[in-house]
Amino acid sequence: MRAYGNYLESEVMHATPAGLVRLLFRGALDAVAAARRHLEAGEIRERSKQITKALTIVHELVDSLDCVEGGEIADRLQHLYAYITKRLIDANAEQADGPLEEVEKLLTTLMEAWI
């Protein structure tokens, strides 16, 4: 695990700004996938932890928006991130897979735009 931590730290330290955004999307997607697995296994605490992790990452994505320079695109992304946040909260409250599946699809589409 320590080796992975060192690798990730190195990747973050040497990433371009776009690379950092891709890393955030990858982390959010990994957390959502883990939440879905924990939901299926009935592991409520772990599911909740992974949803919280995904929420934290989405909030980082919101904080990275430059609404002045980004204009309409940043505004639309902000609204989309707010919707993703709502769906993650719905998934946690309802203990349902549907919202997680939807979030996974949205995040995948967004991440593909950064490739």
- Ranges of each domain in the chain: 17-113
Give the whole-angstrom CA distance, residue 22 versus residue 20: 5
- Please give the model's pTM, rounded to 2 decimal places: 0.87
Check residue 67 and give its pLDDT: 85
Confidence class for position 32, pLDDT limits 50, 70, 90: very high
For the chain, list the strands marked E by DSSP: none
Confidence class for position 14, pLDDT limits 50, 70, 90: low
Q: Report the CATH number of the 17-113 domain.
A: 1.20.120.340
Give the whole-angstrom CA distance, residue 105 versus residue 103: 5
Check residue 1 and give its pLDDT: 61
pLDDT tens readout for residues 77-92: 999 999 999 999 999 9
Pull the structure tokens for residue 91: 């998934």
